């Protein structure tokens, strides 16, 4: 019969948590399991009164601090979303980004809110789309666009638009996500003037460059790029030119003028079906949701080596696409 002494139990518990640390691919779980493993290892050495092998204590305490502090920090990142405080204007902007990309409140608070400033412009003020990226919150902007395009089949011409709530400019500030030289829409020339008292979220070209090269908010960058390209496609490419095209643009401008003073639905409070899934990372609304999150990743990220389970192919290559930093 096995004699389960306290020392033997502590040693086996440490080994079991080391094993669990290698059986999961989620960083939070790995940190938690290694924290428990080194805790039991230190307890084991204290129990057997190991006085001669002092370096075991040193290494074990160092590893306990390394993995324990990492686990605490990762758990703090998963704190319920209502505890991630945003100002009223940044709350509006987060909803805008969330609907396009699903970026969490924590990532928005740390990477997007600090570089976004809400400014108010009076009627007739000129904007600087070459050096600042704008997102219109309220009001309207008269926009004159000129594109020099030698790659596409249609003949370009100067065109005027009215931008309303939810519109954005200029795509050139997303150049880090666009590597194709064929996208000459990056070289479009814009002249923008406010048509009334207008509030715009502003981000300098320098900060936009940092934002678009930041892997932590890659989804937000790509979502914003998709939104800008969608706007351009509607304005330029569905109806190329001629009377039908001009009538379409006139109708869009008329609709923009009718919505002056109103906010785009993209800034509205989230509906229940839009809210983040509570058991996914960054979506917890309460401590109970944090427990559900742990149970969820325990089930979804369990990974035994081949041939017991099929390997998750290319796990380290996810998100490894190079983002160019030069214009």
**248-258 confidence digits (pLDDT tens):** 445 554 554 44
Q: Tell me what pLDDT residue 143 has.
A: 85
User: How far is the CA of 86 from the CAs of 10, 89, 92, in angstroms?
Assistant: 45, 8, 9
Element (H, E) at 191: strand 189-194
The pTM assigned to this predicted structure is 0.80
CA distance 120 to 284: 34
Mean pLDDT of 228-247: 60
The string of DSSP codes covering 109-158 is IIIIGGG-EEEEE-TTPBP-TTTEEEEEEES-EEEEEE---SSSSSPP--
Q: Tell me what pLDDT residue 191 has.
A: 85
Reference 194, options 136, 132, 155; nearest CA is: 136
CA distance 122 to 131: 19
Q: Residue 165 in contact with residue 262, Cβ under 8 Å?
A: yes
Mean pLDDT of 189-198: 88
For all residues of the chain together, what is the average pLDDT?
81
> Residue 239: pLDDT above 50?
no
């Amino acid at each position: 019969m096995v004699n389960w002494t306290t020392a033997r139990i502590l040693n086996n518990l440490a080994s079991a948590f080391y094993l669990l640390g290698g059986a999961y691919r989620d960083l939070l779980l790995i940190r938690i399991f290694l924290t428990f493993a080194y805790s039991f290892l230190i307890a084991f050495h204290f129990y057997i009164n190991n006085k001669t092998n002092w370096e075991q204590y040193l290494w074990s305490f160092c590893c306990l601090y390394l993995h324990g502090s990492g686990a605490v920090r990762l758990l703090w990142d998963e704190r319920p979303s209502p505890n991630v405080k945003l100002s009223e204007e940044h709350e509006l902007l987060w909803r805008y980004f969330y609907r396009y990309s699903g970026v969490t409140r924590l990532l928005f608070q740390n990477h997007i809110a600090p570089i976004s400033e809400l400014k108010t412009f009076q009627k007739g003020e000129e904007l600087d789309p070459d050096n600042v990226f704008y997102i219109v919150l309220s009001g309207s902007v008269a926009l004159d666009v000129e594109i020099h395009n030698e790659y596409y089949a249609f003949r370009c011409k100067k065109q005027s638009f009215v931008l309303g709530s939810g519109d954005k400019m200029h795509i050139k500030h997303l150049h880090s996500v666009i590597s194709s030289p064929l996208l000459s829409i990056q070289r479009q020339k814009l002249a923008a003037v406010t048509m009334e008292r207008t509030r715009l979220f502003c981000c300098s070209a320098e900060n936009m460059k940092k934002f678009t090269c930041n892997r932590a908010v890659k989804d937000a960058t790509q979502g914003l790029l998709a939104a800008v390209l969608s706007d351009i496609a509607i304005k330029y490419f569905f109806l190329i030119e001629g009377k039908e095209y001009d009538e379409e643009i006139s109708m869009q401008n008329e609709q923009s003028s009718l919505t002056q003073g109103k906010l785009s639905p993209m800034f509205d409070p989230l509906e229940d079906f839009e809210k983040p899934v509570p058991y996914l990372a960054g979506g917890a609304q309460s401590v109970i949701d944090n427990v559900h999150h742990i149970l969820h990743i325990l089930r979804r990220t369990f990974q035994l080596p081949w041939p017991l389970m099929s390997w998750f192919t290319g796990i380290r290559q996810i998100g490894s696409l190079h983002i160019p930093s030069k214009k």
